[in-house]
């Protein structure tokens, strides 16, 4: 995603970094299909964020972080699955649940305690959920700058959930794309369904926390 008013969890990762391309005439790789087939969802998240105005003040931003926390909790619930761990070997460096929780504490906001949305999600749908989450980390550079300039937040206070991984945004994304594009064609449809479900979940969280 992200433009000025776009959610970290709903960013369009593919638009922020070059994706691996299939050879001419070959079937598209998974990262390409995810980008193309979730484009409408991506635009819908843009709209919801623009309506929510998360950088209007710290109280509004805390609502965004609450949505981010719930979404990241959903995503990190999937990390224990052996099939996902095999598909994404560096998965333990990913995810931002703890960062979001720490940011909520910084902001004096309560940690949401709603039900998990991924209780019964497995592979290959889990790859799609992780795609939305990882793409948001790549695309959150703009949001991080907005949190700094508009709200005075930093990677050590209030905006941890928007900061880059220690490895850097581009490197972490490139490694994830390589894992995606190693997936066989027979898992593509399931991964795309998972990504659409993840977008739906984040959209529902934004509507809930911002009363949209």
Q: What is the pLDDT of residues 94-136, one digit of tens each?
A: 999 999 999 999 999 999 998 999 999 999 999 999 999 999 8
Q: All domains of the chain, ordered by start, with CATH?
A: 45-210 (1.20.910.10)
**Short-list 195, 210, 46, 39, CA closest to 129:** 195
Rounded to 5°, angle at Cα 57 from 54 and 59 = 80
List residues bridging with 158 in a β-sheet.
154
Total-model pTM: 0.88
Per-10-residue mean pLDDT of the chain, 212 residues long, equals 39 41 68 96 92 97 98 97 96 95 98 95 97 91 95 98 92 95 96 98 97 95
**Mean pLDDT of all residues belonging to the chain:** 89
Per-residue pLDDT at 46: 87
Dump the DSSP string for 45-103: HHHHHHHH-TTSSHHHHHHHHHHHHHHHHHHHHGGG-HHHHHHSTTGGG---HHHHHHH
- My answer on whether omega of the bond before 129 falls inside 30° of 0, hence cis, is no
């Amino acid at each position: 995603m992200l433009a000025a008013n776009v959610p970290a969890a709903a960013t369009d990762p593919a638009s922020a970094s070059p994706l691996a391309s299939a050879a001419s005439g070959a079937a598209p790789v998974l990262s390409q299909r995810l980008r193309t087939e979730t484009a409408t969802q991506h635009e819908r998240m843009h709209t919801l964020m623009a309506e929510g105005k998360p950088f209007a003040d710290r109280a509004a931003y805390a609502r965004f972080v609450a949505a981010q926390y719930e979404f990241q909790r959903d995503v990190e619930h999937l990390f224990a699955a052996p099939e996902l761990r095999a598909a994404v070997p560096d998965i333990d460096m990913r995810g931002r649940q703890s960062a979001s929780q720490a940011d909520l504490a910084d902001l004096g906001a309560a940690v949401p305690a709603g039900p998990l949305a991924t209780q019964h999600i497995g592979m290959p749908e889990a790859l799609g959920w992780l795609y939305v989450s990882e793409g948001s980390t790549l695309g959150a550079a703009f949001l991080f700058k907005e949190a700094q300039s508009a709200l005075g937040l930093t990677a050590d206070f209030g905006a941890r959930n928007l900061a880059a991984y220690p490895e850097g945004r581009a490197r972490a994304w490139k490694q994830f794309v390589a894992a995606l594009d190693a997936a066989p064609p027979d898992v593509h449809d399931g991964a795309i369904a998972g990504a659409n479900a993840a977008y739906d979940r984040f959209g529902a969280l934004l509507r809930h926390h911002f009363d949209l």
